[in-house]
Amino acid sequence: MRRTCKERVNGHGGVRRGLAWCLLALAWLLADVAFAGAPVRTRGPDYIVSGAPASDPFPGRTCDAAALAALDRHIELPPPPGGWSGVPQAVNVFNVFAGEVMVHYGDRQVCGRMHDARTRDSRFRAGVGMVLVPRAGDTEPVRVAWAQPLKTGWIPTVRIGAPSPVQQIDTARLLVRTACLAVALALAVTALMGFLSARDSVFLGYTVLCVGTILWQAVLSGLAGYPEPWLPIGDNEWRWVAALSCIGLSLASLVMWLLVGGARRWPRSRRGLSVGVAVFWLAGLAAAVWLPLPALAVVIGGVDEAFALACLVILALGLHMLWQGWMGALAGIAAVLPFLVMAALDRTGNLLLIEYRVEAMQLAITWFLIVSAYALNQRLGRLRRRREEMQLLAATDALTGLTNRRAGLRRLEGRVAEALATGMPLSVGFVDIDLFKSINDVHGHETGDRVLVAVARALAASVRDAADVIRMGGEEFLVLLPGVAGQAARERMETLRGRVTAATAALGVAGLRVTASIGLASLEDGEDARTLLRRADEAMYRAKRAGRDRVADADGAPPGG
């Protein structure tokens, strides 16, 4: 057992050393980025000018012939009655998940892609937009075009108006999208730290879940292309959406099933669903890679319908488990409700959901991750309580409730180290119940156990911290007295000796009289715990040889009784 514990400690030490090296490498990298090649400010004006004058006539990029040929959906935004007012107008197109978006007016025509921020007007980050100044009285419409969406109902929304309000809405949508990604990233890091601390694979699984939802949200929101593409999406936006939707929705279904108590109700379902999710992943990835887009559209629609049905089943199971009295199902019910609300609104053609579909989806995913993190923290709390209980059991004597010998020796070493470091005195008393074997022989082992419990309670009640009273084994106890030495320590031991006799007399056993012999030793300079304990043990035997029921000092003072 000792070797196993040592190996375990060495294992944890290896992890800590690895983390320390990672932190040092990160610090070196940050320092290198911060200082390598960075300009150093010398004496000069109390301001800094950065950047360079612009040479482009307007932000954005023009459209090539191939991009225009792929746009099969065209609309016109007509001017108000009487023509344009001559003031600036902002046009912003949201929720185009694949392909180019074209905005055209007069001699200006720009194209941009959601998944490549370099192609878009930098004033618009959640959509593809343009600011234009129509001629006063002009009746030419603003033309907008995009490729037909693959998913039914996932239609673009176009907003036109004064630049400031349109840009503010765009910024607000960007903030929601980035905030959801930031929450998922923070939860992933927290779960990873929990895994390193608890060594529970559930935390590692939650980390994978968070990373998967980060990728999923990045593709849905277009942030995979901000500030420049960091995923190899290219022209395969819908294939990425399909693959990550299969992964994300199946993972969410599995986790919500577990949250409502599916594995608690049917224990074998966990393994079956895990295998099913893996198969679903492979099938979804294969479909996203090899199926033509029309067939992929059918698959995506089927995945959405299957997820909505799964949410209904999960809600029904959660309500059933709640009815059965298991309150833990509340977390799963809370996680699934936003998805069900979205599915219901989608079927009714709710315009608000259509316009803010990406933000609604991200908020639902974020809420799901937060609820899952709550359940994970509950699990971590249970693991900690269980570990504390196990540690308490491992450190506690089963009969008396005192600190056992192994834990007590560690506590003695800690007290000795503290005393040597601070110069504070420390005394220990080695207590042995006199003639305990005769008590068992005459009165029985049950009475002997009662005597041990009574002695333990009397000793624990005589010190500030009950953990300073240790059952060394059999009828032997060790009492630690930090901050006490000399005559004060001897007086405390005499008091303890009297309380032992009084406590056992209160048991009311006819003919029973219990006494104790106590060896007292005070810590000397340069002494270790083993030597201090040995001197107290020798003093206790001197007390027994002197007639029992007395206190003997290790310094050679005559035993008193």
pLDDT at residue 26 greater than cutoff 70: yes
Q: What's the rounded mean pLDDT across residues 229-242?
A: 91
CA angle 217, 349, 111 (to 5 degrees): 50
Q: What's the rounded mean pLDDT across residues 143-165?
A: 91
CATH of domain 172-386: 1.20.1070
Q: What pLDDT was estimated at residue 50?
A: 74
Tens-place pLDDT, residues 480-526: 999 999 899 999 999 999 999 999 888 988 889 999 999 999 999 88
- Inter-CA distances, 431 with 471, 492, 540, Å: 9, 13, 7
pLDDT band at 34 (very low <50, low <70, confident <90, very high): low
Q: Do 541 and 520 contact (CB within 8 A), yes or no?
A: no
375 burial (CB, 10 Å; 0-12 / 13-18 / 19+) is buried
Average pLDDT across the chain, whole number? 88
Which residue carries 């998967």 as its tokens? 212
Q: What pLDDT was estimated at residue 279?
A: 86
Other beta carbons within 10 angstroms of residue 62's beta carbon come to: 10
Q: Do 455 and 500 contact (CB within 8 A), yes or no?
A: yes
Q: What pLDDT was estimated at residue 17?
A: 67
Q: Exposure string (b/e) for 288-306, b if CB count within 10 Å is 16 or more?
A: beeeeeeebbebbeebbee
Q: At residue 282, what is the residue type? A: L
Most confident of 295-299, 350-354, 359-363, 526-530: 359-363
pLDDT band at 78 (very low <50, low <70, confident <90, very high): very high
- The percent of residues above 70 in pLDDT, for the chain, comes to 92
pLDDT band at 381 (very low <50, low <70, confident <90, very high): confident
Q: What pLDDT was estimated at residue 3?
A: 42
Domain edges within the chain = 65-161, 172-386, 405-553
Tens-place pLDDT, residues 383-412: 778 887 887 788 889 899 999 999 999 999
Q: What's the rounded mean pLDDT across residues 460-466?
A: 92
Phi and psi at 260, nearest 5°, equal: -80, 0
> Cα 436 to chain center, whole Å?
53
Q: Give the Cα separation of 561 and 558 in Å (integer).
A: 10
Find the DSSP H helices in 260-328. Answer: 262-265, 269-290, 293-323
Which residue carries 């809370």 as its tokens? 334
Structure tokens at 376: 């994970």
Give the DSSP letter string of 326-360: -TTHHHHHHHHHHHHHHHHHHHTT-HHHHHTHHHH
Q: What pLDDT was estimated at residue 271?
A: 84
Q: Do 126 and 177 contact (CB within 8 A), yes or no?
A: yes
| DSSP secondary structure code for residue 149 in this structure | P
Among 108, 113, 96, CA closest to 143: 108
Other beta carbons within 10 angstroms of residue 105's beta carbon come to: 21
Tens-place pLDDT, residues 170-193: 999 999 999 999 999 999 999 998
Query: Which residues are registered as beta bridge partners of 91?
Result: 130, 160
Q: What pLDDT was estimated at residue 57?
A: 59
Q: What pLDDT was estimated at residue 538?
A: 94
pLDDT at residue 479 greater than cutoff 60: yes
- Check if CATH label 3.30.70.270 holds for domain 405-553: yes
pTM score > 0.85 for this model? no
Q: What pLDDT was estimated at residue 427?
A: 95
Instruction: Please give the residue that has the higher pLDDT: either 66 or 446.
Output: 446
Out of 41-55, 418-432, 476-490, least confident range: 41-55
Q: What's the rounded mean pLDDT across residues 238-253?
A: 92
pLDDT band at 1 (very low <50, low <70, confident <90, very high): very low
Q: What pLDDT was estimated at residue 10?
A: 46
Tens-place pLDDT, residues 216-229: 999 999 999 988 99
pLDDT at residue 89 greater than cutoff 50: yes
pLDDT band at 32 (very low <50, low <70, confident <90, very high): low
Instruction: Please give the residue that has the higher pLDDT: either 551 or 268.
Output: 551
Structure tokens at 270: 């966990």
Kind of pairing, strands 128-132 and 157-161?
unpaired
Q: Give the Cα separation of 224 and 233 in Å (integer).
A: 8
pLDDT at residue 44 greater than cutoff 90: no
